[in-house]
Amino acid sequence: MSACPAHIRVRLVGLAVGLLLPPSAWGQDDPEPPPPDGPFVATVASIEARVERLTLENDIRVALLPKRTRGRTVEACLAFHFGGPETLTGQRAALTLLPEMLQRGSAQLSRADWLDALRRLQTEVRFWGIDEVEGGPGTLLVSLTSDQAHLPEALELVGRLLRHPLFSPDEFEAARKDHLTSLKQAGTDPRRLAVTDLRRALTPWPPGHLHYIPTIPEQVDALRALTREDVERLFTRTFGASGLCVSIVGDFERAATVTALQRAFSTFTSPVPYERVPRPAQTLVPVDVSVPTPDSPAAWVLLGTVLPFDDGHPDFAALDLAVQTLAVGGQSRLADRLRREGGLAYLVQGHLQPKAEDDWTALVCYAICPPAQAARVRQIMREEFQRWAAEGLTEQELRSVRIASVQMFNNALASDSIVAHELVRGLCLDRTLRFQQRLIDRGKTLTLRQVNAALAKHVQGLPLVSVATGDVGQPQQ
């Protein structure tokens, strides 16, 4: 039940680009952690020595990581899980609008009162819904940035807002108008068009299924048909705090924080048990999708495929390292080839995106380029992908990405926001950060032969999906 926002979550393995460290900086085992009340060191051993995991009433699972911070800041994540196949099927439009409606006032708190209270409490709160979290339908993530003095009241404020949302007709119309405006802009946005089409191709569920990805016009039609009563009914029938997962990272008072969580959520029971809907990999059909956007200042070209396993697979660490040589950083194969071809792309990136509870991992690469070069960039990306899968890595490439992966991991551990998201994700998945450490440790010991064998076994010959926007002629699929 992972619930980290997909577009802001930085996995602790292989998604960010950091400075390279010499081998002496990463070749040793994680040192023994300092005492929990001593200076904080951003390592898995230190974090796990300090983290307190507990379960409150209403099956609320909590991970508390106390540490000194500048300004006594605190990061918190709350992952709500609700509904199931029976109650959520056919509710995509309502699920899309639900996070926004929950922020637009309650029976005891108008929207203006909510915003005023956040300013008074010096707190930032964001809600993430169906297309923004790894958990998908039935997952709502609330991220919160506050400080020691205001955290308990901020948590109780969120609880008050969620327990009795108002679903005002005026606020509903305002929220729907905002979303329709956003979808209208998406209809000409190369990035959003490309990402939507790639998601549809990589997860080809049939219309009507809970995991079906609608086209942008279909999303517009569904929102126009949606009523305020639809959203309110969805909330009333499914939503509560039973099984809530919470992480708190920073300089907070333990007793006051736990008391606030109990007051806010311990009696907020869900009307029906949460039932996760599995998402096994579907048969992937190779396809090249073209979406003309010739007047846009930049085009997006995406290339992807699906591996039929998750991040617990024995070869995941090897493939995660390998993908970095293909499409992460300025020295990656794709970046180097596009640069040698005349600087065809402004940016190249790639990653593995696993669904931690399903046998499904997306391998995605993308490039941002001039619209007139989109077709050529797509051709080069496909050529380099196939050459990479067939030929494998060099010894120098493997040494470089090993070093970079450890530095990425260490950089991520130094971010309270990232650690808070990973801790709440771990609660949802019954994992600790040691799971991520084992992936890093596995990467340190992999040989070139093992990495290239994993590529040949799992990637070579896979069907590829590509999406290109820009000056690509008539729409094609």
What is the residue type of 265?
A: F
The answer as to whether 14 is a domain residue is no
Q: Are residues 356 and 231 in the same domain?
A: no
The answer as to whether 4 is a domain residue is no
Report the chain's mean pLDDT, rounded to a whole number: 90
CATH number, residue 192: 3.30.830.10
Q: Are residues 246 and 293 in the same domain?
A: no
Closest alpha carbon to 161 in 121, 122, 104 = 104
The answer as to whether 12 is a domain residue is no
The answer as to whether 222 is a domain residue is yes
**111-120 helix and 151-163 helix, angle to the nearest 10 degrees:** 170
Q: Are residues 299 and 259 in the same domain?
A: no
pLDDT tens figures, 158-185: 999 999 999 999 999 999 999 999 999 9
Point out the least confidently predicted range of 76-85, 178-187, 468-477: 468-477
Point out the least confidently predicted range of 24-38, 241-255, 404-418, 441-455: 24-38
The answer as to whether 239 is a domain residue is yes
Q: Are residues 310 and 257 in the same domain?
A: no
Side-chain half-sphere of 399: how many Cα atoms within 13 Å?
Answer: 6
Q: Are residues 354 and 399 in the same domain?
A: yes
Q: Are residues 255 and 300 in the same domain?
A: no
Q: Are residues 261 and 133 in the same domain?
A: yes
Domain boundary residue, one of 207, 234, 265: 265
In 10 A of CB 116, how many CB atoms?
12
Q: How confident is the model at residue 471 (pLDDT cuts 50, 70, 90)?
A: confident
What is the share, in percent, of the chain residues with pLDDT greater than 90?
A: 83
Tokens 């890093």, located at residue: 440
What is the extent of the structural domain holding 258? 23-265
The answer as to whether 249 is a domain residue is yes
pLDDT tens figures, 314-341: 999 999 999 999 999 888 999 999 999 9
pLDDT tens figures, 302-316: 999 999 999 999 999
Q: Is residue 34 scored above 60 in pLDDT?
A: no
The answer as to whether 280 is a domain residue is no
Domain boundary residue, one of 233, 265, 297: 265
The whole-number pLDDT of residue 37 equals 60
Q: Are residues 293 and 256 in the same domain?
A: no
The answer as to whether 5 is a domain residue is no
**316-327 helix and 395-413 helix, angle to the nearest 10 degrees:** 100
Q: Is residue 407 scored above 50 in pLDDT?
A: yes
The whole-number pLDDT of residue 475 equals 52
Q: Are residues 55 and 124 in the same domain?
A: yes
The whole-number pLDDT of residue 356 equals 86
Q: Are residues 311 and 209 in the same domain?
A: no
Distance, C-alpha 129 to centroid of its chain: 11
Domain boundary residue, one of 230, 265, 300: 265
Domain count, the chain: 2
Q: Are residues 228 and 179 in the same domain?
A: yes
Q: How confident is the model at residue 474 (pLDDT cuts 50, 70, 90)?
A: low
Query: pTM of the predicted model, to two decimals?
Result: 0.90
Q: Are residues 227 and 92 in the same domain?
A: yes
Closest alpha carbon to 310 in 431, 392, 423, 195 = 431
